[in-house]
Amino acid sequence: MAIREILTVPDPRLKLRSQPVETVDDELRALMDDMLETMYAAPGIGLAAIQIGVPKQVIVMDLAREGEEKQPRYFVNPEILWASEETQPYEEGCLSVPEFYDEVERPARVKLRYLNYHGETVEADAERLFAVCIQHEMDHLNGVLFIDHLSRLKREQAIKKVKKAKAA
Strands of 121-127's sheet in order across: 46-48, 58-61, 73-83, 109-115, 121-127
Per the CB < 8 A criterion, the answer to whether 99 and 20 are in contact is: no
pLDDT at 1: 78
Q: Where are the domains of the chain?
A: 12-167
DSSP, collapsed to helix, strand or coil, labels residue 50 as helix
pLDDT at 86: 97
Q: Known catalytic residue: 79?
A: no
pLDDT at 167: 84
**Record: fold of 12-167:** Peptide Deformylase (3.90.45)
Fill in the amino acid letter for 37: E
SS3 content of the chain, % helix, strand, coil (to 5): 35, 30, 35
Considering 66, 69, 137, 156, which one is annotated as catalytic? Answer: 137
Sequence-ordered list of residues with C-beta below 8 angstroms from that of 45, at least 6 positions apart, any chain: 39, 61, 62, 63, 129, 133
In a structure prediction context, what are the per-residue pLDDT tens digits for the chain, which is 168 residues long? 799 999 999 999 999 999 999 999 999 999 999 999 999 999 999 999 999 999 999 999 999 988 899 999 999 999 999 999 999 999 999 999 999 999 999 999 999 999 999 999 999 999 999 999 999 999 999 999 999 999 999 999 999 999 998 888
Per the CB < 8 A criterion, the answer to whether 111 and 124 are in contact is: yes
pTM: 0.95
Sequence-ordered list of residues with C-beta below 8 angstroms from that of 69, at least 6 positions apart, any chain: none
C-alpha span between 40 and 30 (Å, rounded): 15
C-alpha span between 87 and 96 (Å, rounded): 24
Q: Residue 57 phi/psi, 5° resolution?
A: -80, 75
